[in-house]
Structure 1
Amino acid sequence: MRTTPRNRPATQRGWRRAGTAVAATATLLLTGFGTAVQADAAQTAATAQATWTATPCTTPAHPGELTCDSYRVTGGLTAFQQAQAARTGITPKAADAAAPSGYGPSNLQSAYGLTSAAASKGAGETIAIVDAYDDPNAAADLATYRSYYGLPACTVANGCFKKVSQSGSTTSLPSADSGWAEEISLDLDMASAVCPNCNVLLVEATSATMANLGTAVNRAVTLGAKYVSNSYGGSESSSDTSYDTAYFNHPGVAITVSAGDEGYGAEYPAASKYVTAVGGTALATSSTTRGWTETVWKTSSSEGTGSGCSAYDTKPTWQTDTGCTKRTVSDVAAVADPATGVSVYDSYGITAGWYTFGGTSASSPIIAGVYALAGTPSTGSSPASFPYASAGTSALNDVTSGNNGTCTTSYLCTARSGYDGPTGVGTPAGVSAFTG
């Protein structure tokens, strides 16, 4: 389900989760089997012959709530599986959820220059994941993901993982929702993949309204999280500046928000001047020194990373582009193209197993993890400003090709050298661009 038209009154607008998706008939970049076998990503010219179906939360639980825009493989063979069949001579079962079919932790760490930091940093830091409704299997599914990839155990028992409601309760939780459970699994797994030594706090909003999700953000900060990831968004409204003050103005806290999955056009809360808006890329291996290359994620005219000018939020002082008189989306970016998606383990409401996901729902927790590796922001700082101080340096990968639609001022929807709307100042090349 798509969002309602932009700029609808807040009382009428529909919120949606920044979608998780697996794109049909796309060339997949393939990698990652597990601890012992972390295969390098390999591009294949074959077209995936898989089929997809929408997840349950494409129908909102209640009128006016945020809805999701997610898909999962249900049949046929992905290009990843085809490539593995070519290498091993063994054809996997169609829609086999027994093994990962997307990027794993070592791939993401390699792509963004984080391998060393991920091994040595993050201890004592807490990444908060804000989502709606309850995932009853969140702890167990996270344990499965981390065990498979050889990441340190992160459980309630060892103090690494904690799940609370927006009120802070560990026992009085929201009603369960299978669609949001997939989003939760994606978010938890990506935060873990990038910062394996970090603690993880899951804050579950009672429902997918801005008021409840915003309350969950405040709860995360109250509980000590210095990094808060939000993988949802919706059309802007004149109420956004009041939401800024009520929910997102937390100096010294890095709040990341998905830029959206519907192509060119700004969404909220990515448009908040207090957050780091995270755009999406397609991530592929290459023969370059880096070993990877990225372009703007665009699957179609209606599916791709968000970007553009806010209609309401004022421009933060660290943004100097002239195409928007107000806030410009995005600030930075990370992998989001479903065709080059990430592996996630999920078991609630579907067959327990491994699924491939994409969307800027993946890129937001990835960037939250990078901030956590970079270290606690100083008191009173604006973490969204940090990457701008490193623009044009080797601390960021400058994405210079691709677009997410058409627009009057080209850099707002088309990649170029330096700042552009779809990918901001670039993607991480280590952690130095994310420190104060």
Structure 2
Amino acid sequence: MRDTHPHRWRRTGAALLGTAALVLAGLGAAGQAGAAAGSPTPHVTWKRACSQPAKAGEMACGAKRVTSGTTAYAVQRAKAGHAAPDAADASTPSGYGPSDLQAAYGLTSAAAAKGAGETIAIVDAYDDPNAEADLAKYRSYYGLPACTSAGGCFKKVSQTGSTTALPTADSGWAEEISLDLDMASAVCPKCSILLVEAKSASMANLGTAVNRAVTLGAKYVSNSYGGSESSSDSSYDSSYFNHPGVAITVSAGDEGYGAEYPAASRYVTSVGGTALTKATSTTRGWTESVWKTSSTEGTGSGCSAYDTKPAWQTDTGCAKRTISDVAAVADPATGVSVYDSYGITAGWYTFGGTSASSPIIAAVYALGGVPSSGSYPAKFPYAKAGTSALNDVTTGNNGSCSSSYLCTAKTGYDGPTGWGTPQGVSGFTG
């Protein structure tokens, strides 16, 4: 049985035009996110970095920048007796940093010892002229080793591989790029980073950039964008995402229950999103639930209408590909710290969306080591399902659906968070 759900990008033309008008007016790009437990409660407003896709075959970045409110990090600071940072103040971080993410996902020792010689590729559209400089600010602030083009750690290229003929700059996608680069750095500080910029947000150009990343030797490729599914997806699969021996991660989407592409590709690791909160009462020290702000704002999940189910997926609610495989933090209210300066006031911002979870998981794969030749790394977490290698997320939902596990967390596999979030690297090794 295939479950379907109306998706925000698939509504009537009138509704799309109305939404587009709001976005252009700067009114439709803001949302609210909050967590249910804790006092004070994290509660923020946020703004989309990119507008929704205007046509089929076009993708949108998923980065969500917090514009006001109290983040989970601020609550954490306040409970520890420190001044709580204001999310609207760009002079100081108000989101989780590298030590938080490494601790939450059991990666502290791996991040200190592994990653040297590995390259994580970040694929996005358009150019961020300040990408390297902003990355340097982030890494310096948090005491991470420098990652520069002069030192051979950082490289930025176009989808053609050129280091000089780069795409047109775009401030929205630049925010996405900053988020992606910082998350890869936070989880795998010793990894090298390859930024591949597509000349536009079309699936064809972004797919070409994925191929370029693989051609240049990246074994871990993060994609923090998505759009509505189409009958062309199977051809996109074979043209851009069928790369055995390469871990390709894709954001599951941020519109609540409903499938997106390329998260629906059978060749990628589809990454859902959680709300991540520090909890001293648990052995782990952290708790997670499905990220949901409203019925149309939260992590994506669901059944693909077009993509074949991979052999390692055995759930019965979807005849075709099920989204997601795993998850990581995405709720803007429990968001991550990012430094960005292109098109906005230079400084520190908190970001959320499954745009954050995709590069986090790509970096976990990188800490786990090079996938074996011919393997599909999306399969790796399935081999460790139900073990201590993954934090099983069992609370929350991202909407309503007829096969409840597709939109509601439960013990074991579920759509919003897959098999769970990382607890060390063993769930992401072949």
The residue that corresponds to 1:389 in the other structure is 383
Q: Hey, what does 2:337 align to over in structure 1?
A: 343
Quote the residue 1:370 is aligned against. Answer: 364
- Give me the TM-score of the superposition, normalised by structure 2: 0.89
Alignment of 1:169-318 (within 5 A): 169-286=162-279, 287-318=281-312
The CA distance in 1 between the partners of 2:33 and 2:268, in whole Å, is 34
Counterparts of 1:400 and 1:22 in 2: how far apart (Å)? 28
1:124 aligns with 2:132: no
**1:285 shift after superposition:** 1.3
How far the C-alpha of 1:400 sits from its partner, in A, is 0.8
- Cα 1:369–1:47 change in 2 (3 A) is closer
Distance 1:128 1:7 in 2: 36
Residues 77 and 321 of structure 1: CA distance in aligned 2, closer, same or farther (over 3 Å): closer
SS at match of 2:9: coil
Q: Tell me the CA shift for residue 272 of structure 1.
A: 0.4
1:146 aligns with 2:139: yes
Measure, in 2, the Cα distance between the counterparts of 1:372 and 1:192: 11
1:26 equivalenced with 2:31 (yes/no): no
What is the DSSP-based 3-state SS (H/G/I as helix, E as strand, rest coil) of the residue aligned with 2:270? Answer: strand
Correspondence 1:101-140 to 2 at 5 A:
101-140=94-133
Contact 1:403 1:415 in 2 (8 A): yes
- Whether 1:333 and 2:327 are equivalent positions in the alignment is yes
Shift of the alpha carbon at 1:90?
5.9
Per-residue CA deviation, residues 26-51 of structure 1 (Å, 9 max, x unaligned), is 3599xxxxxxxxxxxxx532464x65
Contact kept, 8 Å, 1:27 with 1:45, in 2: the verdict is no
1:334·1:366 contact (CA, 8 Å) conserved in 2? yes
Q: Is the 8 A contact 2:87 2:94 kept in 1?
A: no
Kindly provide the CA deviation profile for residues 192-248 of structure 1, in whole angstroms up to 9, marking residues without a partner as x.
000000000000000000000000000000000000000011111111000000000
Distance 1:28 1:162, change over 3 A: farther
The residue aligned with 2:3 is: none
Q: What root-mean-square deviation, in Å, do the aligned CA atoms of Structure 1 and Structure 2 show?
A: 2.6
Letter in 2 for 1:244: D
Q: Which of 38, 45, 61 lines up with 2:40 in the alignment?
A: 45
Given the superposition, is the C-alpha separation of residues 435 and 70 from structure 1 closer, same or farther in structure 2, using an over 3 Å criterion? closer
CA–CA distance in 2 between the matches of 1:263 and 1:413?
A: 9
The SS at the match of 1:262 is coil
With over 3 angstroms needed to count, the CA separation of the structure-2 counterparts of 1:302 and 1:93, relative to structure 1, is: closer
Measure the CA separation in 1 of the matches of 2:202 and 2:73: 37
1:379 to partner: Cα distance: 0.6
Q: 1:421 matched to which residue of 2? A: 415
How far apart, CA to CA, are the structure 2 residues paired with 1:212 and 1:230? 13
Q: For residues 30 and 93 of structure 2, what CA distance do their matches in structure 1 show?
A: 13
User: What SS does the corresponding residue of 2:262 show, helix, strand or coil?
Assistant: coil
The whole-number CA distance in structure 1 between the counterparts of 2:12 and 2:190 is 41
Task: Check 1:233–1:51 CA distance in 2 against 1; reply closer, same or farther (3 A cut).
Answer: closer
Asked if 2 retains the 8 angstrom alpha-carbon contact of 1:128 and 1:220, the reply is yes
What residue in structure 1 maps to residue 346 of structure 2? 352
**Distance 1:323-1:357 versus aligned 2 partners, 3 A rule:** same
Shift of 1:142: 0.3
Q: 1:340 to 1:272 in 2, by over 3 A?
A: same
CA distance in 1, matches of 2:104, 2:79: 25
Aligned residues: 409
Task: Find the counterpart in structure 2 of residue 162 from structure 1.
Answer: 155
User: CA deviation digits over 1:139-161, x for unaligned, max 9?
Assistant: 00000000000001000011000
- Equivalence for 1:379: 373
TM-score normalised per structure 1: 0.88
Unaligned runs of 5+ in 1: 9-20, 30-42
Aligned mates of 1:419, 1:59 — CA distance in 2: 30
Shift of 1:415: 0.7
Deviations 1:363-400 (CA, angstroms, capped at 9, x unpaired): 00000000000000011111110110000011111111
Q: Paired residue for 1:320, among 314, 318, 321?
A: 314
Return the offset for 1:24.
3.3
The answer to whether the Cα contact below 8 Å between 1:44 and 1:83 also exists between their aligned partners in 2 is: no
Paired residue secondary structure (1:4): helix
- Counting aligned pairs with the same residue, the percent is 77
Amino acid at match of 2:123: V
Structure 1 counterpart of 2:10: 5
